[in-house]
Structure 1
Amino acid sequence: MDPVRTEISAAGVATLTIANPPVNALGAAVRAGLLSGLTAALANADVRAIVIAAEGKVFVAGADISEFGKPPVPPSLPDVLSAVEGSAKPVVAAINGLALGGGLELALACHARVAAPAARLGLPEIKLGIIPGAGGTQRLPRLVGAAPAFAMMAGGEPVSAEKARAMGLVDDIADGDLVATAATQALRLAEAGTWPRSGAAESKFSAEDRAAFETAASDAIRKSPRMPNVAALAHAVRVGLEKGLAEGLAAERAAFLELVKDPTSKALRHLFFAEREAARVPGIGKEVKARPVASAAVIGAGTMGGGIAMCFAQAGIPVTLIEVKEEALSAGLARIRSNYETSVKRGSLTSEKMERHLGFITGRVGLEAAAEADIVVEAAFEDMGVKAEIFGALDRLAKPGAILATNTSYLDVNAIAETTKRPQDVVGLHFFSPANVMRLLEIVRGAKTAPDVLVTSLDLARKIGKLPVVVGVCYGFVGNRMLAKRTQAAERLLLAGAMPHEVDDAVTDFGFRMGPFAMSDLAGLDIGWRARKATGAKAPVADALAEQGFFGQKTGRGFYRYPEGARKGERDPDTEALITRLSDERGITRRSFSREEIIARLMYPMVNEGAKILEEGIASRSSDVDVVWVNGYNWPNFTGGPMHWAEGVGLARIVEALDALAAETGDDSLKPAALLRRLAQGGSFADKDAA
């Protein structure tokens, strides 16, 4: 089938329909088809006007990103769009669904745009580390104004058809037949004998608009100093404002081509593909169908359980929130309402939506309330005895075929499953806190988890707005298992000579929003302390602080001091003296560390643990590890995640450093994993993923 087909109506409208499923990406064949169809329509005396439409539910979801960084295949998208805009016959875009990136740039080059009511339009390139490269930075400002255009491009989020019409981005919204409405518009332009070209419009560039653009651009660059594409976006728009369309297009294209080669752009594109690849689970085919989920139950109305209940409610799935005592249930429901009320005050939620969400949540006392739910999520205390008791009861109470999920962060999902007579129905759903906000969901596949339970979990994750990654069973799964290595390395750095603020400063300079010690103080040192006491693990500095009752922010003392309830900690001389004393007691000669050394000692053991996770099959791909850490642990996205970042550092360099660190500390767990050592001799994690 041709990727672009042409039909000519009796009224003289040539409709060029893009048919390149599933998202009608503007690959080389589509570009050639559009140019060929346009050329033929212009040469046909019977054609008076042209409509560009698309099959399916998507207009065009963008350029073919897989072509980035490869030798160009003509015709280029800018050349095609120049031909569209310069057409001697009017061209109207019929936007049936998503018009993103190059898809919106195609629509911008047309002389008018008609959208379906459900259409959404956007230029999301900023999220890929690039900028629009086919006229978006020039034609969009000329349609809607420089300030609104920059805001739309810098945010990267699509707008609705209604908002697009209000902005002046689309000319009409079709109530009925979209293509017929676009054809009528095209004939109207043909009758008039003149039509607007977005590239020629300058009237939107008022002094007020220019000033608003400059303010927005300065703010965006200040907030994203590590994102070169933000400054490039501002520059391209500015050149178009000051020097006109031709020079603006040239500046845009030059910046786009340069950014495609930039490591930040490569990292963000890696994550773009990684997030989509994470949904593909080896060994699970399309023939496996999801179980129906019309209702849910959540056990535990604490912070985590309440957040999970909110996820179901916001997706329109009725959920029963269950507690053992009325007091705990009332407190949990009140907390949920308070969370929603805060969103209303901030303007991110309307009162009507709040009440609608709350209407999907029902509170009940007693596990019997879970009897009719299609999925039950246990969000109780992180204790195997507690969870075993709950799952034993659910085995008796839940209806046949119900999915029994545990929200454990560390515990053995296989052991939990064996407390039931239906281990095939048991799965781990590790939400991240706050559950109603954090995007990541680790789906923990037990040894006996049924394929349709896994597929249902993936499907459900998407419905409730989560990014799912399937992982295997081990202590801490992917994210927390690697985090434990960083925590261990951070404690070791303190004893070796670093102070908490030095470690945290290095980590925030690397790109994290918080360092490990500030994060520990925020979470509460008592949580890890109690867990270590139960397992026999040790963290000398954190344990010594906790034993004195210094639990972090909530007690005003921890790794830092928090005077009068301050949220930001100050250096604590007592803590620093404690650290020095602990070093002396162990006979450690303290020394200083550069920020580069601190990052190496923290991150290389994490990469090594990631390699072990891949060896053991806990994660299917290194890119899955990257997705977990970027979306669940605030790893800076502009580095692509720990495994992608390691490729840039050099695997051979990391192996050498780990060998030296293992010899220095006597900790054999720091010796390079066999996979890491093998890849360091000639290979990459990306190659392994593709194998």
Structure 2
Amino acid sequence: MGHGWGQMDERVRYSTRDGVAFVTIDNPPVNAISLVVRTGLQEALSKALADAEVGAIVIAAQGPSFSAGADLRDLDCGAVPPRLTDLLRDIEDAPKPVLAAIQGSALGGGFELALACHYRLVHTDAQLGLPDMALGLVPSGGGSQRLVRLAGARVALDMLISGRPISAELAVRLGLADRLVRKSPGRAAFMAARNFIQAKTPPRPTRTCEAGFANPDDFLAAVEERRAAAEDDKREAVHRAIDLVEAALLLPFEAALAMEYAHFASLAGGAQAHGLRHAILAERRAARRSVPAGHPPRPVARVAVLGGGRLGSGIVRACLAAGLAVNLVEQDEAAVLRARRRIASGIARDVAQGHLAPDQRAAQIARLNAGHDIAVLSAADLVLEAVGEDHETRRAVFARAGAASRPGTLLASAGLAPDLAALARASSRPADVLGLRFFTPARWVRLVEVVCPPTAAPDLAASGGAFARMLGKLPVSPDPSGDGDSLALPVFGALFAVAAGALCAGADPPEIDTALRDYGFALGPFQLADLAGLDRLAALGWPGIGGILLAEIMAAGFAGKEPGEGFYRHPAGAPARPARELDALTDRLRKRAAPGGGWAGKPTKAEIADRAALAMANAGARLLASEVARHPSDIDAAMLAGFTYPRWRGGPMQAADTSGLLAVRTRLRRLSECTGEALFAPSPLFDVLIRDGLNFEGLNPASAGQRPV
């Protein structure tokens, strides 16, 4: 037969050649399986099956990716026919062989589509996976059931729960793909399809495969092991995924398929999935706005870092990991040697923990030049000050940096609370000065706040945001009119104030941290404070009980994890444990604290978490009312990336929306009345939003656009 073309929708193309029907997804940028694409695939399948001259079908995709999954905005349309599960069942039931030609990413619904095909050819660069867990979901198109049948319980559980993609080579080894292709998977699939027609090769429905059930006892043991490991996991989708893997062995395929879709539908309408979708969109909005259009960023290839303490050394490691060349400048040779040891030790830990390939260790160290001659600043594209929170020292450093660096070199402070206007004046180069607020440990914390003073050149915001993204960080920008105020620190400060109040009311740091971990934080407030450095936080001068606690603990000589002791003791190579040396300090604070504090006895975990959620939402509302924050989602993104806020809650402002703003304001008023603390006095913004029938989400910009997940 000659080459024929059929017009479906422009996002799904149909053609035939030599008895092979080609169905091509063309839905840029990443071939999302939207409702329009599902409809086009259904029509193409029907056309191919109705054509007596078509003996086999190839499903391929235009562009670099097969399909990276569903459009976030299309999740609410998942039940509109054709549902993905019904479409994929029709593909699997096709009486003619269906082959998938896979290149690039086959993720989520794209991988489910591939699993429903009878044969799968994968390019060597392909990545296959089910990242639905990142959205608080399980697959909806039969992916959990087909994956288990091909690869077994252990592989399925890992892929479903971790969401990590696997390589094409591993997919072939696991039986998830049939052949590795080094050139064109489309051409290879066409050749295979012609051979199938000639050999009368029949379809091979995935549901009939039982390789994954070869050892039922081990299968069930894997399920129980994962169920036990996930006992304290707050993510609903994790427990549903485990149930679905078990169901693959215990239920008929149709019943397990129905169970999967029921779980998907239930989760998709739940608060956790909504919170996770919000988290993803919040981070995209923040990152996109941090690199504004119209002002190309200045190129950065070589960075100079002034200061090799724990902040500076962490920034150096982040830059080296991103492939940048770094000049580290310290005040004398002894400080240089200490910084070198700290950096080399950190890189060695990265290798030992699998974060860095052993052969890359030497390359990273080779890109580092450490010394005490400030003349090296003349070769830098970006100079980053990380000398600590002393304002006089910082101004002196900027005066020297402005004189030693080339005109146009970016001059940035990594401090938590720099006076950027004073630093701009000290540098004599005010147009080149900005804040790049890193949070420790700087190697791993994803948040960088990009702060531009009024004197900054128009391209500095884009330059700072582009640099942060180069390091794999999430850049978030406070409103330029906010005088350099932070989005994350006031919200964390509110959380820490609640923790300090609970400490004074009789709870100890491990109990308080457990309460917030039960709420969903990866680390509690005292654990976070130890990591951030108690000296850095104390320098912020927070008002109230939180600031008093930091000042007292610093005066007692406890500075956090890096020196070895803060709210916890941090012995080298051993788990942290409570610092009982703090008992006397805690007793003094409790005697000085206002009686009661509004607590009815020793605080419970539920009371601590509730107060913390209210205080964080109130702090965020104040940032919005004072125009330090432009959008509620920026606050959410900052807390997610900087302080381990639970992603499935979406962020403190999203959590307030979920609770209802009227209920939040009522509870804040009650706490304000019974405690007398300004921390809980409701921001007037609550009154405005409640009066106008709005919530925080309504203050966010429109959707961040089509980005499949």
Calculate the TM-score normalised by the size of structure 1.
0.91
The corresponding residue for 2:193 is: 186
The corresponding residue for 1:363 is: 370
- Alpha-carbon distance in structure 2 between the residues aligned to 1:563 and 1:455: 41
- Alpha-carbon distance in structure 2 between the residues aligned to 1:589 and 1:265: 34
Tell me if 1:491 matches 2:500. Answer: yes
Given that 1:284 and 1:451 are in contact with CA atoms closer than 8 Å, whether structure 2 keeps it comes out as no
Q: Which of residues 376, 380, 385 in structure 2 aligns to 1:378?
A: 385
Tell me if 1:268 matches 2:276. Answer: yes
- Alpha-carbon distance in structure 1 between the residues aligned to 2:626 and 2:586: 39
Q: Which digits, 9 at most, give the CA deviation of each residue in 1:532-554, with x for residues without a partner? A: 49x99984455445444466778
Relative to structure 1, the CA distance from residue 476 to residue 383 in structure 2 (aligned partners, 3 Å threshold; closer, same or farther) is farther
- Alpha-carbon distance in structure 2 between the residues aligned to 1:118 and 1:428: 39
Given that 2:223 and 2:245 are in contact with CA atoms closer than 8 Å, whether structure 1 keeps it comes out as no
- Alpha-carbon distance in structure 2 between the residues aligned to 1:315 and 1:557: 31
Given that 1:313 and 1:357 are in contact with CA atoms closer than 8 Å, whether structure 2 keeps it comes out as yes
Gapped regions of structure 1 (runs ≥ 5) = none
Q: How many residues align?
A: 686
Letter in 1 for 2:697: A
Letter in 2 for 1:491: A
Relative to structure 1, the CA distance from residue 461 to residue 186 in structure 2 (aligned partners, 3 Å threshold; closer, same or farther) is farther
Q: Which of residues 642, 646, 664 in structure 2 aligns to 1:632?
A: 642
Q: Which of residues 238, 249, 252 in structure 1 aligns to 2:260?
A: 252
The corresponding residue for 2:517 is: 508
Shift of 1:86: 1.6
Relative to structure 1, the CA distance from residue 450 to residue 147 in structure 2 (aligned partners, 3 Å threshold; closer, same or farther) is same
SS at match of 1:683: coil
Tell me if 1:684 matches 2:678. Answer: no
The corresponding residue for 1:102 is: 109
Tell me if 1:344 matches 2:351. Answer: yes
Letter in 2 for 1:96: Q
Given that 2:305 and 2:328 are in contact with CA atoms closer than 8 Å, whether structure 1 keeps it comes out as yes
Tell me if 1:205 matches 2:213. Answer: yes
Tell me if 1:277 matches 2:285. Answer: yes
Q: Which digits, 9 at most, give the CA deviation of each residue in 1:567-586, with x for residues without a partner? A: 211666534532342137x8
Relative to structure 1, the CA distance from residue 251 to residue 180 in structure 2 (aligned partners, 3 Å threshold; closer, same or farther) is same
Q: Which of residues 646, 657, 665 in structure 2 aligns to 1:655?
A: 665
Relative to structure 1, the CA distance from residue 188 to residue 404 in structure 2 (aligned partners, 3 Å threshold; closer, same or farther) is farther
Given that 2:67 and 2:109 are in contact with CA atoms closer than 8 Å, whether structure 1 keeps it comes out as yes
Shift of 1:59: 1.6
Letter in 1 for 2:237: N
Shift of 1:345: 2.6
Letter in 2 for 1:28: L
1:274-313 correspondence to structure 2 within 5 Å: 274-281=282-289, 284-285=292-293, 287-313=294-320
Q: Which of residues 217, 220, 224 in structure 1 aligns to 2:226?
A: 217
- Alpha-carbon distance in structure 2 between the residues aligned to 1:545 and 1:273: 39
- Alpha-carbon distance in structure 2 between the residues aligned to 1:355 and 1:617: 46
Relative to structure 1, the CA distance from residue 499 to residue 297 in structure 2 (aligned partners, 3 Å threshold; closer, same or farther) is closer
SS at match of 1:404: strand
SS at match of 1:173: strand
Q: Which digits, 9 at most, give the CA deviation of each residue in 1:604-662, with x for residues without a partner? A: 23212211212333223211211111221121222211111111222122222333444
Q: Which structure has more RCO (C-alpha within 8 Å, separation ≥ 6)?
A: 2
- Alpha-carbon distance in structure 2 between the residues aligned to 1:657 and 1:368: 58
Relative to structure 1, the CA distance from residue 162 to residue 364 in structure 2 (aligned partners, 3 Å threshold; closer, same or farther) is farther
Given that 2:503 and 2:586 are in contact with CA atoms closer than 8 Å, whether structure 1 keeps it comes out as no
Relative to structure 1, the CA distance from residue 28 to residue 410 in structure 2 (aligned partners, 3 Å threshold; closer, same or farther) is same
Q: Which of residues 616, 622, 625 in structure 2 aligns to 1:615?
A: 625
- Alpha-carbon distance in structure 2 between the residues aligned to 1:108 and 1:162: 16
1:308-319 correspondence to structure 2 within 5 Å: 308-319=315-326
Relative to structure 1, the CA distance from residue 606 to residue 260 in structure 2 (aligned partners, 3 Å threshold; closer, same or farther) is same
Deviates more, 1:61-70 or 1:267-276: 61-70
Given that 1:482 and 1:609 are in contact with CA atoms closer than 8 Å, whether structure 2 keeps it comes out as yes
SS at match of 2:66: strand
Q: Which digits, 9 at most, give the CA deviation of each residue in 1:37-73, with x for residues without a partner? A: 1211222233332221222222211122213345732
SS at match of 2:241: helix
**RMSD, matched Cα:** 3.0
Relative to structure 1, the CA distance from residue 320 to residue 492 in structure 2 (aligned partners, 3 Å threshold; closer, same or farther) is same
Q: Percent identity?
A: 35
Relative to structure 1, the CA distance from residue 66 to residue 393 in structure 2 (aligned partners, 3 Å threshold; closer, same or farther) is same
Shift of 1:258: 1.0
Tell me if 1:644 matches 2:651. Answer: no
- Alpha-carbon distance in structure 2 between the residues aligned to 1:54 and 1:160: 18
Letter in 2 for 1:36: E
Shift of 1:497: 6.0
Shift of 1:4: 0.5
Letter in 2 for 1:140: L
Tell me if 1:30 matches 2:37. Answer: yes
The corresponding residue for 1:405 is: 412
- Alpha-carbon distance in structure 2 between the residues aligned to 1:545 and 1:65: 46
SS at match of 1:415: helix
Shift of 1:427: 2.3
SS at match of 2:288: coil
SS at match of 2:577: coil
Relative to structure 1, the CA distance from residue 685 to residue 117 in structure 2 (aligned partners, 3 Å threshold; closer, same or farther) is same
Q: Which digits, 9 at most, give the CA deviation of each residue in 1:658-684, with x for residues without a partner? A: 334444454556432222221133211
Relative to structure 1, the CA distance from residue 52 to residue 423 in structure 2 (aligned partners, 3 Å threshold; closer, same or farther) is farther
Relative to structure 1, the CA distance from residue 550 to residue 437 in structure 2 (aligned partners, 3 Å threshold; closer, same or farther) is closer
1:25-174 correspondence to structure 2 within 5 Å: 25-70=32-77, 72-174=79-181
Given that 2:529 and 2:560 are in contact with CA atoms closer than 8 Å, whether structure 1 keeps it comes out as yes
Shift of 1:5: 0.9
Relative to structure 1, the CA distance from residue 363 to residue 32 in structure 2 (aligned partners, 3 Å threshold; closer, same or farther) is same
Gapped regions of structure 2 (runs ≥ 5) = 1-8, 703-709
- Alpha-carbon distance in structure 1 between the residues aligned to 2:464 and 2:292: 13
Q: Which digits, 9 at most, give the CA deviation of each residue in 1:236-271, with x for residues without a partner? A: 111111223222211111111111122112111211
- Alpha-carbon distance in structure 2 between the residues aligned to 1:632 and 1:685: 20
Shift of 1:25: 1.1
Letter in 1 for 2:182: D
Letter in 1 for 2:163: G
Given that 1:559 and 1:575 are in contact with CA atoms closer than 8 Å, whether structure 2 keeps it comes out as no
The corresponding residue for 2:453 is: 446
Tell me if 1:581 matches 2:591. Answer: yes
The corresponding residue for 1:601 is: 611
Given that 1:91 and 1:112 are in contact with CA atoms closer than 8 Å, whether structure 2 keeps it comes out as yes
Letter in 2 for 1:266: H
Q: Which digits, 9 at most, give the CA deviation of each residue in 1:142-161, with x for residues without a partner? A: 22222112211111011122
Deviates more, 1:661-670 or 1:645-654: 661-670
Relative to structure 1, the CA distance from residue 90 to residue 453 in structure 2 (aligned partners, 3 Å threshold; closer, same or farther) is farther
Letter in 2 for 1:506: A
Given that 2:298 and 2:463 are in contact with CA atoms closer than 8 Å, whether structure 1 keeps it comes out as yes
Shift of 1:274: 1.5
Deviates more, 1:249-258 or 1:65-74: 65-74
Given that 1:521 and 1:560 are in contact with CA atoms closer than 8 Å, whether structure 2 keeps it comes out as yes
Given that 2:528 and 2:643 are in contact with CA atoms closer than 8 Å, whether structure 1 keeps it comes out as no
Given that 1:560 and 1:575 are in contact with CA atoms closer than 8 Å, whether structure 2 keeps it comes out as no
SS at match of 2:287: coil
Letter in 1 for 2:306: I
Relative to structure 1, the CA distance from residue 311 to residue 478 in structure 2 (aligned partners, 3 Å threshold; closer, same or farther) is same
- Alpha-carbon distance in structure 2 between the residues aligned to 1:365 and 1:88: 74
Q: Which of residues 5, 21, 34 in structure 1 aligns to 2:13?
A: 5
- Alpha-carbon distance in structure 2 between the residues aligned to 1:395 and 1:552: 33
